[in-house]
Structure 1
């Protein structure tokens, strides 16, 4: 969970500058939600940058570790990324 939360927060900081992190426990899952002001939707990177250090591994890793990922727009034109992990 810490790795997924860290990746989502790092992406929010890089793209939106500010963020809100929410963690919730459900009967079978842990929900990690990160809201940021950027309307840019996360997308998988076909060829991560292993030389220049600009990344590209995070979103793929988040999806691989999650049961479900959901991206929803916010009324303020940003987005919330919700990830559900096994508990």
Structure 2
């Protein structure tokens, strides 16, 4: 099983979730992880993580993507050390962690360069995963 990783920074504004989704869906597709329902769930989780970082964090927003075969971990870091906590939904939000909980096998928070990093482990993507070259084992190279 190969390990593939990517790391990039995002602007600290409202465009960040869309940029993150575009970059990560292209990246995962290039790595052979193309199941549409799984990608939709992963992009929902990523959007929530990035939106929370922009809204409640500070400093730079940093995205890391790790693939261990079909297993993917999405991480988003920001400059705030405040640990996210579930809260009651109101007219301005409050469902982000509930959504993340619904689509992941687990999520957790780590200290990261004076702030925090929220890591979300996705269930394995259906299919055969990726090879070291980034192509699906079920598709010709």
TM-score, normalization: structure 2? 0.55
Following superposition of structure 1 onto structure 2, how do residues 47-58 of structure 1 map, counting pairs within 5 Å? 47-49=88-90, 52=91, 54-58=92-96
The 4+ residue runs of structure 1 with deviation greater than 4 A are none
**One of 30, 35, 50 as aligned partner of 2:72:** 30
Q: Secondary structure at the match of 1:33?
A: strand
Paired residue secondary structure (1:20): strand
The aligned residue for residue 65 of structure 1 is 103
Higher-Rg structure is 2
Corresponding residue to 1:81 among 118, 129, 139: 118
How many residue pairs get aligned? The number is 82
Displacement of 1:30 in angstroms is 1.0
Q: How far did residue 8 of structure 1 move?
A: 0.2
Gapped regions of structure 2 (runs ≥ 5): 1-41, 126-141
Gaps of 5+ in 1: none
Name whichever structure is richer in strand by fraction.
1
TM-score (norm 1): 0.86
Deviation string, structure 1 residues 20-76 (Cα, Å, up to 9, x no partner): 01111112411100010011111111x201xx3x100011110121101120112x3
Partner of 2:83: 41
